[in-house]
Homo-oligomer: A and B are copies of this chain.
Amino acid sequence: MNLNKNSKRRKELVAIAARLFCDQGYESTTVRMLADAMGIKSGSLFHHFSDKQEILYAVIESGMLHAMEIARQTLASARTSKEKLHALARAHLSTLLEDRDAHVVAIYEWRSLTQESRDLLVELRDAYETSWREVISECHEAGLIKGDQGLQRRLALGALNWTVQWYHPDGELTPDDLAQELVAMVLREPSAV
């Protein structure tokens, strides 16, 4: 098996798998369907991945790494704690939209990962959520909001993650509108939209 996890070819294959897993679900997508979409035969697939589950892992991992990178970049240009909260919300929505396949797969196909894969990805997710923890904590210290920080973080991330169920970026509502409304809700400010 090819072990080079950063090859351009592998990234292409992972993106193709993400689309199929997103559209049809992991279990319903066969290795033959994956191979077809990749333009190779099913036997050749196992030159790139040791088994089907490893493809699922690669899809979810790529989505999470990308999300962390976008959050890091967006956060860098934010000053106040409110700006930081808005930056995180906007970054979260950006990755949900730009990298939608991988994130839908992460949400829906978690159960099909082996325990070992889950443990590795939980570490990544915790690292990502630490940014949210820190920024919400800052908002509390700045007196912008009171109450249970963990609960507020979970409700906010839940509302954002659920957008994959209904949000279509070609409508009237822009991702920035959405991020603003979410921040307004969390900070108990009047609706901005």
Which residues of chain A have a CB within 8 Å of any CB of chain B?
24-25, 27-28, 108, 111-112, 145-148, 151-152, 154-163, 165-167, 173, 177-178, 181-182, 184-186, 188-193
**A28 contact set on B, CB distance < 8 A:** 27, 111-112
Residue contact A145 to B191, C-beta cutoff 8 Å: yes
**Stoichiometry (number of copies):** 2
Nearest CB of B to A2, in Å: 28
Measured between beta carbons, the chain B residues less than 8 angstroms from A173 are: 148, 151
A165 & B155 in contact (Cβ 8 Å cutoff): no
Q: From B111, B146, B155, B165, give the contact of A185 (CB < 8 A).
A: B155
- Name the residue on B nearest A167 (C-beta): B154
CA–CA, A156 and B166, complex, Å: 13
Report if A155-B159 is in contact (Cβ < 8 Å); known contacts: A24-B111, A112-B25: yes
Measured between beta carbons, the chain B residues less than 8 angstroms from A157 are 162
Select from chain B the residue with minimum beta-carbon distance to A182. Answer: B155
For the complex of A and B, the 6 pairs showing the least CB-CB separation, nearest first, are: A147-B191, A158-B162, A27-B27, A159-B159, A155-B159, A158-B159
